[in-house]
Structure 1
Amino acid sequence: MADMNQKNLRPGIPASLLAAVTLSSALLHAEVKPNPLFTDGAVLQRGQAVPIWGTAKDGEKVSVEFAGQKAETTAKGGKWSVSLKPLEAGGPFTMKISGENTVTVGNLLVGEVWVCSGQSNMEWKFKATAAADQDRADANYPKLRMFTVARTTSPLPLAKAKGSWVECSPQTVDGFSAVGYYFARDLHEKLGVPVGMISTSWGGTPAQAWTSAEGFGGHAELDGYAKVAKENLAKYATAAPEKPLGPGIPASLYNGMIEPLLPYAIKGAIWYQGESNAGKSKEYQTLFPAMIADWRAKWKQGDFPFYFVQIAPFKGQPAEIREAQFLTLSKSKNTAMVVTTDVGDANDIHPRRKRPVGERLALAARALVYGEKTEYSGPLYESMEAKGDKVALSFGHVGGGLVAEGGDLKGFTIAGADGQFVPAKAEIKGDQVLVSAEGVSEPKAVRYGWANVPDVNLFNKEGLPASPFRTDVE
């Protein structure tokens, strides 16, 4: 668990009187220090205001000089913060932070900054991927950096993240988030600018742990999580817990691994999680959009891009959790979803093929953020129309056209008024799929890939797989 020292807590969060007195004494002799995110090798976001912050003695005048700019402020309550005007991509640069002492931070770059977060499939290291031996020697990208946040739980919002910026090289890439690396590599090569990734993930963790105490508000079905998070906030305001909170506790990872990143300037976030919420898929339909909204509200950078991975096929993961992720696209603006039905492993919840996952996330970013004219998603179900004994299904993101990979379409089932689903025949007609089955004269509903491990093959011509779906959404 993170250090519960007051110096690592957000302003306004009380600790014991003794800790407060100790802090007050320490601050009388405090040196100017930047937040740990602003250390050698950091990447700053281009094209938008860039907050820089840290600690200093109360009342101390602090100046920050960077790339021809100078910003000044006065520390209050032991904290200081300035904002740099939008920067152009480039570097390396040096930042000078001055008060009664001077701190110099070197080898800084300006480019694109993304957060990568989630559970084990996002945390999964490059060294354990299918293409590691093939790709390692070429991983010489000094302008691609990653800050990996140390696993930290906390009942209270923390102010500092534990971690450091690391340049990408064949010697360091093994420790990078694999999905984060492949995402960043693709953007770096296509955009030609530095890319920084802030990796903050923890295997086996649910979305409620990544949501703040306030983020559950307005959703009656999430009141239980809000109650636990707020009780912990009150209970540990004056004393640290005897044992660290578990990483599944509501708000514990938000407090320890997201709050400390605020308000670092970012372009967006990528997310790979859902396995630990599969047992409550219906709830996830509310929880996941609530978490996205919570991050955006806390970051105060608008509805920044939030792109996520639909969990891969696995014998223990029901179709309903993929549906909850699919439905999030219509509930949360500025989102995109990567489908992984073709790169999963039925017997392993951690499929080793991470390169296509990262590259598909980057494809979405290139299309939606960076203006590349390209199809970025596989076909997504939009509507159905009954035509006699057939159902015509319409899709978005058909790209250059719908295709059946490797033969006839498979993975479709159909039901009549009795609600009994049977295997169906499906064929592509233009941008639609026609579905029918013997014995179903008046079809009412169709499902595609509705299984833990779906056997499916509907793609668009760009090679992106269609998302599983059902027309009878509950």
Structure 2
Amino acid sequence: MVLQRNLNLKIWGNAEPGEKVMVSFNGQKQKSKANTFGKWSVVLDPMKAVKEPLIMTVHGNNVIELKNILIGDVWVCSGQSNMQMKVSECIDAENEIKAANYPNLRLFEVPRTVSNTPVDHIANASWKVCTPETIKNFSAAGYFFGRDLQKEIDVPIGLIHTSWGATCVETWTSKASITKLPKYGDFGTRIDHYDETTASQKFEDNLKKAIGKFPEKELGMEENWMQPNTDRSTWNTIELPTLWENAGYQRLNGLVWFSIDFNLTETDIGSGAQLHLGKIHDSDITWVNGQKIGGMNWSNNVERVYAVPSKILKVGKNNISVRVEDKYYKGGFASKANKLFFQMGKKKIPLSGNWKMKVDKVIPDFKPLPNDVPSLLYNAMIHPLIPYGIKGAIWYQGESNTPRSKEYEITFPNMINNWREDWGQGNFPFLFVQLANFQVAKSTPKEDAWAELRESQTKTLRVINTGMAVAIDIGDANNIHPLNKQDVGNRLMFSALKVAYGKDIVHSGPIYQSMQIEDNKVIISFDHAGSGLLVKNKHGYINEFEIAGDDKKFYWAKAKLDGNQIIVWSDDVNKPVAVRFAWSMNPAEFNLYNKEGLPASPFRTDDWEGVTDGKSFDD
């Protein structure tokens, strides 16, 4: 393993009550005595980095030798699936794995488990030397960060990987910390009463009450449930839009069909018809009058807008059928009622209200989930690491908090402060990755939950000793887990060199500083411009800017460099009051950097109400 250098280092363990213990390591000897609970600990004086293997001897009624110990810097690597993603899954994986011979880089993997009470021990886990064999299934972002960092500072590096895909920030926060926040005061009782076995059985029993016997075989496609003449008299009724968990179908994962009839007149039928369904969790296939008009896979943040050919419409009754698939967490229709309608020209037919619903297939998985209540992963996967000496932490998470992005401005800094307080090592460096670009690029400016989450991440830089790696240009429109984790790790490393090691380097891309309005133009100034702003376009055009006046309606804007400032304007806005940049899930035309090659962070100059304002854990 690697022990943290330059730190009063706590070593702890278990023995018989009253047993005397002595720890010998690197020329030091420290004594302790186990208390009535059998717990003991010693504190070693700070030590410099050591690259040659050392032995720690623990003397009690028996003798334990811990071999091959180095002294250097230890980093905790945590978050959700983009931190969990393996080296074997990233780009150029074969060559990366072959080259992963780093004897002074050590790896520790925390097993994934939940607990509603703090846990002190980690079972079935041990430190490993970094080799091509041990690195395959380790965190790619964590590994590339540690590898690049070691090359820069030339000391042993220890990486403790503790992450879980699709998890929210609240589950990584202690009960004492989360219950201090607005809207979370009553969660203490829910956390205390959470029981894995009871919770699993309760979810299964409740779902059987809601839908009856679980369907064993998928039938909808085979029996053509999308056809208008399908007998739906025995189908359930559900009021849409809603996530089906909010309608009493807790822990329903699988396939669910929805259907509604609506009427058209002869004058309604013409060209340009569109079906608007809002956001659907997660995949859908959609039919009108039995004809498929669209579908998306695993695109829960994309609003469904499908063109409807006029030839398939008819005077009188028409039918819409939607087959929704969801394999994890919540499923169904996630937008507000005003996003669910059928449009012909300027006329809109609202579709919110009662729909028919039938469950086609159930995935019977009722295991406890980390997001059931807050603190489950803090208790099981963070608490047992404390007080192991660390240099700092890196973090890649946020996707699962996008439904409540505004609140993340509070819950994320709260978690950082929670870890620091509990670790008792002061304000250790905490570095995080801003959400990468994902999904289809938008054609017109609009509100966006992912953009709001990135804004909350940027605001977290107000917390002392934090750093942010911007990944807005290295994502993948079709994959929420972008394969380029090399650049992610490298950009985190730049933040570490500045924040943790005090190096005089440019560690960040441009970050919005201020704006000035002159006539019909807005002048934007930046922090972290480095040696100058850089536009990656041979004609110098800067993309992804939007501008709005008092009416709060945004238009695509023109933008140009003026030294280290950017001038923004639009012929559609005579009196601008607000500017936004890269304000979408996927600003696909992004091209603004500093000359050090680091991308600018998305931003907005306004503070107008967003789509996630007021949303919290139970929403």
Name the TM tier (shorter chain).
0.7 to 0.9
Tell me the secondary structure at the aligned position of residue 114 of structure 1: strand
Find 2:434's aligned residue among 305, 310, 331: 310
Alpha-carbon distance, 1:176 to partner: 1.4
Say yes or no: does 1:265 pair with 2:389: yes
Counterparts of residues 418-433 of structure 1 (less than 5 Å): 418-433=551-566
Say yes or no: does 1:147 pair with 2:108: yes
Deviation track 1:329-373 (CA, whole Å, cap 9, x = no partner) reads 12x211111111111001110000000000110111112222322
Counterparts of residues 344-423 of structure 1 (less than 5 Å): 344-407=475-538, 408-423=541-556
Say yes or no: does 1:66 pair with 2:25: yes
Tell me the secondary structure at the aligned position of residue 13 of structure 2: strand
Task: Sort the Cα spacing of 1:463 and 1:152 in 2 relative to 1 into closer, same or farther, 3 A.
Answer: same
The question of whether the paired residues in 2 share the 8 Å contact of 1:245 and 1:252 is answered with: no
Counterparts of residues 57-96 of structure 1 (less than 5 Å): 57-76=16-35, 77-90=37-50, 91-96=52-57
Q: Which runs of 5+ in 1 are unaligned?
A: 1-41
Deviation track 1:127-175 (CA, whole Å, cap 9, x = no partner) reads 1000212322221101101100000100110001231111111222112
> Partner amino acid for 1:264?
Y
The residue that corresponds to 1:471 in the other structure is 605
The question of whether the paired residues in 2 share the 8 Å contact of 1:413 and 1:422 is answered with: yes
Q: For the residues of structure 2 that align with 1:222 and 1:428, how far apart are their CA atoms? A: 45
Alpha-carbon distance, 1:442 to partner: 1.4
Q: For the residues of structure 2 that align with 1:89 and 1:131, how far apart are their CA atoms? A: 32
The residue that corresponds to 2:86 in the other structure is 125
Tell me the secondary structure at the aligned position of residue 475 of structure 2: coil
Find 1:319's aligned residue among 445, 451, 456: 451
Deviation track 1:106-141 (CA, whole Å, cap 9, x = no partner) reads 000100100000001001110100021232222110
Find 1:453's aligned residue among 581, 586, 591: 586
Say yes or no: does 1:291 pair with 2:250: no
The two structures have a TM-score, normalised by structure 1, of 0.87
Deviation track 1:165-215 (CA, whole Å, cap 9, x = no partner) reads 111112221121101100100111111110000000001111111000011
The question of whether the paired residues in 1 share the 8 Å contact of 2:178 and 2:374 is answered with: no
Q: What is the aligned residue count?
A: 428
The question of whether the paired residues in 2 share the 8 Å contact of 1:414 and 1:421 is answered with: yes
> Partner amino acid for 2:471?
T
Say yes or no: does 1:167 pair with 2:129: yes
Q: For the residues of structure 2 that align with 1:433 and 1:427, how far apart are their CA atoms? A: 6
Counterparts of residues 244-255 of structure 1 (less than 5 Å): 245-248=368-371, 249-255=373-379
Higher strand share: 2
Say yes or no: does 1:339 pair with 2:462: no
Q: For the residues of structure 2 that align with 1:215 and 1:411, how far apart are their CA atoms? A: 38
Deviation track 1:282-339 (CA, whole Å, cap 9, x = no partner) reads 1111111111111111101111100000111112862111111111112x21111111
The question of whether the paired residues in 2 share the 8 Å contact of 1:222 and 1:287 is answered with: no
Q: Which runs of 5+ in 2 are unaligned?
A: 202-366, 441-448, 609-619
Q: For the residues of structure 1 that align with 2:174 and 2:544, how far apart are their CA atoms? A: 39
Alpha-carbon distance, 1:230 to partner: 4.1
Tell me the secondary structure at the aligned position of residue 78 of structure 2: strand
Alpha-carbon distance, 1:245 to partner: 3.6
Alpha-carbon distance, 1:224 to partner: 4.9
Alpha-carbon distance, 1:227 to partner: 4.5
The residue that corresponds to 1:18 in the other structure is none
> Partner amino acid for 1:469?
F
The two structures have a TM-score, normalised by structure 2, of 0.67
Alpha-carbon distance, 1:241 to partner: 7.3
Q: For the residues of structure 2 that align with 1:194 and 1:152, how far apart are their CA atoms? A: 29
Tell me the secondary structure at the aligned position of residue 183 of structure 2: helix
Q: Give the superposed CA RMSD.
A: 1.7
The residue that corresponds to 1:54 in the other structure is 13
Tell me the secondary structure at the aligned position of residue 524 of structure 2: strand
Tell me the secondary structure at the aligned position of residue 147 of structure 2: helix
The residue that corresponds to 1:19 in the other structure is none
> Partner amino acid for 1:171?
E
Deviation track 1:232-258 (CA, whole Å, cap 9, x = no partner) reads 4xx79xx99777642113100000000
Task: Sort the Cα spacing of 1:240 and 1:44 in 2 relative to 1 into closer, same or farther, 3 A.
Answer: farther
Say yes or no: does 1:111 pair with 2:72: yes
Q: For the residues of structure 2 that align with 1:309 and 1:226, how far apart are their CA atoms? A: 30
